Structure 1
Amino acid sequence: MTNLSVPMRCPHCNNNSPSLILSTYWDIATTHAPGMAGHEWQIGECYEFAECISCGERFFYMYHWHEHMEPEEAVPKVLFPSEKSVPEGVPEHIKNSLLAANKVRNIDYNAYATLLGRTLELICVDQSASGKDLYEKINDLVNRDLIPKTLADIAHNVRILRNYGAHATKGEISEQEVPVLDSLIHSLCEYLYVFPSLLNDAQKALNRCKSNQKKQNT
């Protein structure tokens, strides 16, 4: 009989279904049952390596277990690959756009590029960029000194790759371009949202130090 997991979301293709369990490791201990003096039970964690029956990709996950639970009560937590994170300080609507792109990252490279292009458009709107198209809006960010020329080149690369993903007549986005796109859009987010947030935190810390020093001197 084929050994299948409980239904769970594949971290590669986002499909929610049982996966083929390739290997299992149990970390189990015997302990006293809560509220039942003299009664012992087994409890611990189960670690499993599985293969998605939809995309064929493999992943590693775990779930907490005790001997009285039903199999469908297991709540799997994927340990590898780790979920692609969004930089701190990014506005919620832009974060949601990035997360939407991440869901198709390993399914459809063209769709991933297209969704990152939409994220770039949202960033331009958030920064009140003006222009009739994305090309002009990116240049407007440079003209207003919101981003340096180097970062504008990064944004234009995202825009161009987005065009390849969105239009069948222009070509195809391959797996090789995916990490490049990912690095480009994250660099833009870090410059516009993460760095200012870090600078603000650093200024607050400096102000606290100055305030404490004044109190010590009085």
Structure 2
Amino acid sequence: MSGHSYETGKTNGSVHKAVCESCQIEQRHIVEASARSRWDSDEYTGITEFEVIRCLNCDTLSFRKEASNSEDYWYDPETEEYTSHFDVSVYPNRTAGRFKIDGHYHLPPDVRAAYEEVISAVNGGQPILAGLGVRVLIEVICRDRNAAGKSLLAKIDDLKAKGVLTHAGADILHKLRSMGNESAHEAKPSSDKQISLAMDVVDNLLQSVYIHPNEAKSAFK
């Protein structure tokens, strides 16, 4: 018999391990509310769990989705057993372990919006969009700081001339600009190491240009 069915509270009280958005490490989470969607046919059964989970360390709430079906499994020749595959996603996305820097609320709205989209692309495992997003973020920063020049290369050099960037910082941004160009024009995905280094550089840039100056105003009144 084929059909769709729903059931609530089936996994309430269950405990899962997940990276906590606030703790920024893997923590135990308890399911506070849940709903199960089930599809049955003569040859196929699919189950999706929708869960609101709470970190048992800091009480931060997240959303967890777990999907499985009767056709998605793999065979382990060592144990000679079949194991079902579960597709798990958590929102806000944090699969790559990249979190927003402390004080990100100090960023101007346009810069913050671009930064948050880059974080989403990185954590979503989208290396082409992440590389392109880094370039867009640099463009937005240059525009916010009124950098002169018709090209991004010239704008970065102008920020260096104004003292906003150091010589070393400008050289690194040029490398990130090149990485973004490859993502945009050649659809070339950046490596995990490139993206991780790029985000470290971006974080440092945002801290030095926006976050630290704003925090210094209140710390040294």
Deviations 1:18-38 (CA, angstroms, capped at 9, x unpaired)? xxxxxx9xxxxxxxxxxxxxx
One-letter code of the match for 2:161? Answer: N
Give the Å deviation of 1:87: 4.3
> Rg bigger for which structure?
1
What is the RMSD computed on CA atoms of the aligned residues?
3.0
Q: How does 1:54-73 map to 2 (within 5 A)?
A: 62-65=29-32, 71=35
Report SS of the residue matched to 2:150.
coil
Could you say which residue in structure 2 is the equivalent of 1:184?
201
Identify the match of residue 100 of structure 1 among 86, 104, 117.
Answer: 117
Identity %: 21
Give the Å deviation of 1:179: 0.4
Give the Å deviation of 1:70: 5.8
Give the Å deviation of 1:118: 0.4
Greater percentage in strand? 2
Deviations 1:118-160 (CA, angstroms, capped at 9, x unpaired)? 0110000000001010000011111112222122122212111
Between the two structures, name the one with larger relative contact order (CA 8 Å, sep ≥ 6): 1
Could you say which residue in structure 1 is the equivalent of 2:52?
75
Q: Is the 8 A contact 2:15 2:31 kept in 1?
A: no
Could you say which residue in structure 1 is the equivalent of 2:216?
199
Moved over 3 A (4+): 69-74, 78-83
Could you say which residue in structure 1 is the equivalent of 2:184?
166
**2:169 and 2:220 mapped to 1: Cα distance?**
25
Distance 1:109 1:61, change over 3 A: farther
Identify the match of residue 113 of structure 1 among 131, 152, 177.
Answer: 131
Q: Is the 8 A contact 2:131 2:189 kept in 1?
A: no
Does residue 47 of the first structure (1) align with residue 64 of the second (2)?
no
Unaligned runs of 5+ in 1: 1-5, 7-23, 25-43, 51-58, 205-218
Could you say which residue in structure 1 is the equivalent of 2:99?
84
Unaligned runs of 5+ in 2: 1-5, 19-25, 37-49, 54-61, 63-89
Q: Is the 8 A contact 1:154 1:188 kept in 2?
A: no
The farther-off stretch of 94-103 and 121-130 is 94-103
Distance 1:147 1:62, change over 3 A: same
**1:182 and 1:61 mapped to 2: Cα distance?**
28
One-letter code of the match for 1:62? Answer: H
